[in-house]
Structure 1
């Protein structure tokens, strides 16, 4: 999960809770908090927060479907 800490719609604790639950089930999961990003910045290619997503794509694509 990539979560903007400036997100006023969804608290970052929700992402951390979801990641914790996934890890407890044995899934691979990680939460990355982006301090200067809001809810939509992490999906906006023009925002620097998008790079946090892009950097993780190769590893996610390698494990897709597992």
Structure 2
């Protein structure tokens, strides 16, 4: 994370947060969450979080 820009860090942590919101209902850590009321919302948060984590790698500082 040292080589990433500030925008890249923000995108990564937002993606990580979305990934956690998506993973917790699927793994059974929480029974019900108002953020992810059903499995389809959890799967979409999971996919969106992974995409944001992947895209954060393209925001690197120039040499």
Please report the TM-score for the alignment, with normalisation by the length of structure 1: 0.32
Structure with the larger helix share: 2
Please report the TM-score for the alignment, with normalisation by the length of structure 2: 0.33
Q: Taking CA–CA contacts closer than 8 Å with sequence separation of 6 or more, which of the two structures ends up with the larger relative contact order?
A: 2
Structure with the larger strand share: 1
Structure showing greater Rg:
2
